[in-house]
Amino acid sequence: MLQLLLILVVVAFVAGMLGFTALAGAAATLAKIVAGVMLVGIVIILILAMMGLAILF
């Protein structure tokens, strides 16, 4: 998922530099969504690990 986030950020940056603002905006929006999902997943895993339910590992 981190790889997807980095690809979307690079696509947004390059598209923005080349003037494709609609593509840059879409890629940036998707990158924000992926980052949010990653953050929620990390928080859930940390909470489960602190509760001793680390069966995900």
Locate the domains of the chain by residue range. Answer: 2-50
Encoded tokens for 38:
């990653």
d(CA 9, CA 7): 5
Q: Are the CB atoms for 24 and 16 separated by under 8 Å?
A: yes
Average pLDDT over residues 38-51: 89
Give the rounded distance of the alpha carbon of 13 from its chain centre: 15
Per-residue model confidence as pLDDT tens digits over 8-33: 999 999 999 999 999 999 999 999 99
Kindly provide the residue ranges of all beta strands, DSSP E only, lying in 1-57, ordered along the sequence: none
Q: Are the CB atoms for 24 and 54 separated by under 8 Å?
A: no
pLDDT at 46: 87
Q: Are the CB atoms for 15 and 27 separated by under 8 Å?
A: yes
Tell me what the pLDDT averaged over the chain comes to.
89
